[in-house]
Structure 1
Amino acid sequence: MTRTPEEAVRGLWRTLSARDYDGIADWVTDDCIYLDMPVGPALAARGPADIAKRLQVGWGGLSAYENHDGLLLSDADGNVMYEHTETWSFPTGEVFTLAFVTVHRVRDGRVCLWKDYWDYGAIMNNAPASWVEGLATADTSWVYDATDEV
């Protein structure tokens, strides 16, 4: 099946909104690099399994997560910019919505590069202390240094 870059990005984010970690492999390439730009390319993840592990560090302890669609722009080379928001709900009652701009590169109908841009301070100022403290002991087997690749 051939997908447009826009279909690949929207499909990936529908899968993410459902927190369907196994389904990520349907939307990203085996060599896809995912990174959060506020923390840099030295803490990237590569490939569907490690991307899923990386996402579970942030979302695993949430009671609810929802992606909200926004503006999506693409070019003829498969580059897609997606402005969207995410609502994070914690079991301790905190809820906040975080603004994102995500840059994707799509190859053969699947995302091969995914860079998230967001406000680091917004998470640190709104997440409960227990979530922030949990980052120190989180699984980091997924860490891939993409410094020379992005």
Structure 2
Amino acid sequence: MWKALSDRNWALLKTHLSDECIYLDMPVGPAAAAKGPEDIVKRLKIGLEPLASYENFPGLLVANGNDAMYEHHEQWHWATGESAVLQFVTVHRVENGKVTLWKDYWDMGALANHAPPDWMDNFASADMSWVFDATGLL
């Protein structure tokens, strides 16, 4: 799954997610989650598709039954020359070989401090049909 994400291979990424998978960025919170492979990919594309390059670097993976924590980092590069290294801890729940829960913990300030000035404008004009309120479900 992580290789597919790093390659921005959206079709392959979807095959790793259950139909009921919930994805959320913890800095934003559960009211702006995405649910299901199609909407999760819509959400991920907002941040990752406009990048000139993107790469996920592996780190420590700890698992306990169906639950896993993955410490990793990503490098983001914009066509305008800006770049950022983002540190992540991701929590997954995996059932029957598919991710059913995906929570990303990261520092939004680290991204905002290195992104181009118009970075937030991409979110303001993006398709937000993916928004799922997961409040109380996690």
Q: Counterpart of 2:44 in structure 1: which amino acid?
A: L
Divergent runs of 4+, >3 A: none
Q: Which moved more, 1:40-49 or 1:17-26?
A: 17-26
User: Kindly, what percent of the aligned residue pairs are identical?
Assistant: 54
Q: Does 1:142 find its partner at 2:130?
A: yes
Structure with the largest fraction of helix: 1
Partners of 2:20 and 2:7 lie apart in 1 by 23
Structure-2-length-normalised TM-score: 0.97
Match of residue 91 from structure 1:
79
Deviation at 1:112, TM superposition (A): 0.3
- Once the two structures are superposed, residues 44-84 of structure 1 have per-residue CA deviations (whole angstroms, 9 ceiling, x without a partner) of 000000000000111121000000000000012x1000000
Q: Counterpart of 1:147 in structure 2: which amino acid?
A: T
Partners of 2:87 and 2:12 lie apart in 1 by 24
Q: Which moved more, 1:41-50 or 1:123-132?
A: 123-132
Aligned-residue RMSD, C-alpha? 0.7
Whether the aligned pair in 2 keeps the contact of 1:37 and 1:115 (CA below 8 Å) is yes
Partners of 1:42 and 1:66 lie apart in 2 by 27
Structure 2: which 5+ runs fail to align?
none
Deviation at 1:148, TM superposition (A): 1.6
Structure-1-length-normalised TM-score: 0.90
Structure 1: which 5+ runs fail to align?
1-11
Which of 88, 93, 96 is equivalent to 1:100?
A: 88
